[in-house]
Amino acid sequence: MADIFSEFEDRLPQKIIDEIKNSLPKSASDAKVKKILEAAYEEYTIAKVSPGESVGLISAESIGEPGTQMTLNTFHFAGVAEMNVTLGLPRIIEILDGRKELDNPMMEIYLKKPYATGKKIEELRQLALQIKETKLRDISTELSINIADFTIEVKLDKDKMKGIEITNSKVTDAVSKQLKGYNIKDNKDSIILKSRSKESTFNDAYKTKEKIKDITIKGVKGISQVLPVKREDEFVIITAGSNLADVLQLEEVDAYRTTTNNIFEIEQVLGIEAARQSIVNEIFKVIESQGLNVDVRHIMLVADTMCVNGSLKGITRYGVVSEKSSVLARASFETPIKHIINAALVGEVDNLDSVVENVMINQPIPIGTGLPSLSVKQPKTAKEK
């Protein structure tokens, strides 16, 4: 039986072979298995795209046409609580442009077994608060500068600190870790910062005062809101703000399922293949939420072009388009002068083997009926003989 499968190994993808293997009943005879594989191979060949099919343009039309029906509804409250989500056309543009700064970065944090099913809501809330970022400005009531010796006094909000379990020592630790060159004195209701350098000025003190407001005292940096949500029979924490690398470090988090909508973070933490899949998922989510019907394979093609180089590239003149080999193709898409001048400087050659260039010079485009050409073996002339 193994022989039959190995016979098909270079004809069918491994995934299909495995699928057939797993779903076969044990009683299947070799002849029948072979028949099944033959039939699968035939189906597989039919499903293949023919050579010369302009898959890119068909994908573009298939995504673009329903895209025109997409309402420009930017914001939409995702049911459970007030959490802003970018949806619709703006989100698709955000993904395809490969933007690094998202309008609404978000995470879905899945938890490991004991925490996920935890019956105690209280524990879960504690965990969520562990993740939420608390900045110095959140727990201070007043920041003031002593003009005489340029020390900075931070008055702490004791009630708030108690509520989220922060002690004075935690505050001083965090500040000393993230702020170099200052001595920190714990004064019970406040902490006092004094510069170690002798030549400090009021200006320096003022700048430091503004800077320390954003010091993270507790939680994961960048996560501004947390919201525990029950999904089927487990608890998931949805956050506003994203920091995949640091969240995955947490012990309670299920690193296999936790995700973010920031594709760049996924690329950095999990690699390019994960980023590609994440592009597909994110775009498909938006298209689905709008009630439109686009085949995934079109989106997969887009995701593939964005990731082929091993790094994430947006479909912009700085991203995918700048990688095109043809000068004329690049020039026909935004900033033509830049491309032509640069090409002239290095004496670039355009081989005219893509669609746009051939439309420009009015030659048959190498797609569909324009792709095949005829080669004729000429009889040798008398001389050559």
Partner 1 sequence: MVEVYINSKFAGIVDNPIEFVNKVREERRKGLLTHNLNIFYNEKANEIQLESSKGRARRPLIIVKDGVPLLTERHIKQLEKNEISWSDLVKQGVIEYLDAAEEENSLVAFFESELTPEHSHLEITPLAMLGYCTSLVPYSNFNQSTRLNAGSKNQKQALGFYASNFSVRMDMDVNILHYAQKPVVSTIMHDISNYDKHPAGQNLVVAIMSYKGYNMEDAIILNKGSIERGLGRSTYYRPSIAEELRYAGGLIDEICIPDKDVKGYKTEKDYRFLEDDGIIYPEAKVKEGDVVIGKTSPPRFLSSMEEYSLASSTRRESSINLKHGEEGIVDFVLITENEEGNKLIQARLRDERIPEIGDKFTSRHGQKGIVGLIVPQSDMPFSSNGIIPDLIFSPHGIPSRMTIAHLIEMLAGKVGALAGRYINGTTFDAEPEERLRKELLSLGFMESGLETLYNGQTGEQYLTKIYIGNMYYLKLKHMVANKIHSRARGPIQLLTRQPTEGRAKEGGLRLGEMEKDTFVAHGASLLLKERFDSDKTIVPVCESCGIIAIKDNYKNKSYCTICGENVEVNYIEISYAFKLMLDEFKSLGIYPKLQLESKY
Radius of gyration for the alpha carbons in the chain, expressed in angstroms and rounded: 30
Q: How far is the CB of 66 from partner 1 (least distance, A)?
A: 15
Query: CA-CA distance, 240 to 236, in Å (whole number)?
Result: 13
**Stretch near partner 1 under the rule CB under 8 A, chosen from 132-140, 247-255, 304-312, 359-367:** 359-367
User: What minimum distance in Å lies between the beta carbon of 23 and partner 1?
Assistant: 37
Number of helices (H), then strands (E), in the chain: 18, 10
Q: Is 49 in the site for partner 1 (CB under 8 A)?
A: no
Total residues belonging to the chain: 385
Contact 236, 226 (CB under 8 A): no
Q: Which stretch binds partner 1 (CB under 8 A): 55-63, 68-76, 281-289, 310-318?
A: 55-63
Q: Rank residues 53 and 189 by Cβ distance to partner 1 and give the closer one.
A: 53
Interface residue with partner 1 among 1, 49, 57, 80 (CB under 8 A) is 57
**First-residue to last-residue Cα distance in the chain:** 55
315-354 mask for partner 1 (x: CB under 8 A)?
A: -------------------------xx--x----x-----
Q: Say whether residue 367 binds partner 1 (CB under 8 A).
A: yes
Stretch that binds partner 1, among 19-27, 117-125, 141-149, 368-376 (CB under 8 A): 368-376
Cβ at position 375, least distance to partner 1 in Å: 8
Of the candidates 149, 267, 256, the residue with the CA atom closest to the CA atom of residue 201:
149
- Cβ distance to partner 1 smaller for residue 42 or 61: 61
58: which residues sit within 8 A by CB, 6+ positions away? 298
**Count of residues that bind partner 1 according to CB under 8 A:** 28
Distance CA 257, CA 111 (A): 9
Which residues on adjacent β-strands are paired with residue 182? Answer: 195
Binding of partner 1 by 355 (CB under 8 A): yes
Contact 305, 276 (CB under 8 A): no
Q: How many CA atoms lie within 13 A of 165 on its CB side?
A: 9
Q: Is 68 in the site for partner 1 (CB under 8 A)?
A: no
Smallest gap from Cβ 51 to partner 1, in A, equals 10
- The verdict on 361 binding partner 1 (CB under 8 A) reads yes
3-state SS class at 280:
helix
Binding-site member from 13, 52, 181, 271 for partner 1 (CB under 8 A) = 52
Rounded to whole angstroms, how far apart are CA atoms 317 and 54?
Answer: 21
Interacting residue ranges for partner 1, rule: CB under 8 A:
52-54, 57-58, 60-61, 340-341, 344, 349, 355, 359-371, 373-375
